Structure 1
Amino acid sequence: MVVTMFIGGLLAQPAGAQVLEIGADGAVTRFAGPAVFTDDGAKALIQETVVADVSNGADAVRQQISTAANAYALDPKLVEAVAWRESRFHTGALSAKGAIGVMQLMPGTARDLGVDPHDPVQNIRGGALYLRRMMSAFGGDVRLALAAYNAGPAAVRKHGGVPPYAETQAYVTSILGRMATTGAVLAVPVLGAPQ
């Protein structure tokens, strides 16, 4: 009896972790704050506002990637390959280091780019802008730009190329491999590309 009451008391407490609920129709509901979960479903204690609609999944993400790539004079296949490697197109992705969303922007980077990393459209736009900045900083060298996207431009400069970090080397190899299978153009030098 005491155990039942104790467990019942625990179950009635608000949860504090981020929880994703996937409906039968594939719709994803994210509970980022306190929520109560019962047999009748989940109810957020604080209602979250929708910041962007990418409910059509990968197709909507691909469309946003194409739009952002074109805005920053990047090959859409390059931006798509980065997004795939970063998050597998999951808008709610959160890395152990705190990177957020489809193109895994760190909060400070998102702030510097002037985007809301929790808004999928802004996140993708910010990721494309950051990739464009890395392409410009490294003279259009895709390998170095990818390494800088992953490890930071300071690490690329320090090592005079792709840093000898296993994670970064695997990252660059993975994206270039994906690019090779899609037939994308790797380097598109564009004068006057948006910064």
Structure 2
Amino acid sequence: MKIKIPPFFILSCWVAASIAPGIAYAQIYSGTSAAGTVVLSNFSSPEARVLLIAPSRGGYEAPASTAVASKSISAIPSAFKEMIEDAARQHDLDPNLLHAMIKVESGYNPQALSAKGARGLMQLMPDTARRFGVSDAFNPKENIRAGAEYVQWLLKLFQGDVELALAGYNAGEQAVIRAGYRIPNYGETQKYVPKVMAHYK
């Protein structure tokens, strides 16, 4: 949902959120359209990139990977954008798929660390990092390159089925195979796949 609204309303929203911290509220992004109109939106877009109001703990749903991020990054840093596009070209992938995965995995936080030990932008597990020759999983370029290579490998394994590739990325390819080439019945994976697909679409 995106609406265009007078600038004074932004201040009102911020004040209301500040004086009522116990009330759950959704995230709100703000920005300015090409015509100069202030835009408020509940999702990030080219016209609304600045996170004006972050969701409260009561209304926040952590990334499927349970990555611990110090803050939400609503705008894609240009350096990451270039790295993602380079990795996508190198591994014949749609860069939008990588963007969707990173959005869900880490929220573009290169220092994200999950409770299970997954690290960096694409939340590489230590075994996966070693498997794809990563020496520093918190290095954005290495992390994206290895994540993209793994995604490409999974897509080949599952004959281009994006949802199965995502399930394999989250739960491991063997879990998908044991489930009869279906999304495994793991709560995290069942949430992860549609969430990434929603961002991708």
TM range (shorter): 0.5 to 0.7
For 1:31-42, what aligned pairs fall within 5 Å after superposition? none
Task: Tell whether 2:183 aligns with 1:162.
Answer: yes
Q: Which residue of 2 aligns with 1:8?
A: none
Q: Which residue of 2 aligns with 1:108?
A: 127
Q: Could you tell me which amino acid in structure 1 is paired with residue 170 of structure 2?
A: N
Task: Tell whether 2:77 aligns with 1:58.
Answer: yes
Corresponding residue to 2:117 among 80, 98, 113: 98
Per-residue deviation, 1:165: 1.1
**In the TM superposition, what whole-angstrom CA distance separates every residue of 1:55-108 from its partner, at most 9, and x where no partner exists?**
x96221121111101110000000110111110111111111001100000111
Task: Tell whether 2:180 aligns with 1:128.
Answer: no
Q: Which residue of 2 aligns with 1:88?
A: 107
Q: Could you tell me which amino acid in structure 1 is paired with residue 171 of structure 2?
A: A
Residue identity (%): 46
Change (3 A) 1:57 1:77: closer
State the distance in 2 between where 1:123 and 1:86 align: 12
State the distance in 2 between where 1:107 and 1:133 align: 17
Q: Could you tell me which amino acid in structure 1 is paired with residue 200 of structure 2?
A: M
Per-residue deviation, 1:118: 2.3
Q: Is the 8 A contact 2:168 2:176 kept in 1?
A: yes
Aligned residue pairs, count: 125
Q: Secondary structure at the match of 2:144?
A: helix
The TM-score normalised by the length of structure 2 is: 0.60
Which of structures 1 and 2 has the bigger CA Rg? 1
Q: Which residue of 2 aligns with 1:175?
A: 196
Q: Which residue of 2 aligns with 1:74?
A: 93
State the distance in 2 between where 1:115 and 1:138 align: 24
For 1:141-156, what aligned pairs fall within 5 Å after superposition? 141-156=161-176
State the distance in 2 between where 1:165 and 1:136 align: 23
RMSD value, Cα: 1.3
Q: Could you tell me which amino acid in structure 1 is paired with residue 145 of structure 2?
A: R
Q: Secondary structure at the match of 1:147?
A: helix
Kindly report structure 1 stretches of 4+ aligned residues shifted beyond 3 Å: none
**In the TM superposition, what whole-angstrom CA distance separates every residue of 1:19-70 from its partner, at most 9, and x where no partner exists?**
xxxxxxxxxxxxxxxxxxxxxxxxxxxxxxxxxxxxx962211211111011
Q: Could you tell me which amino acid in structure 2 is paired with residue 170 of structure 1?
A: K
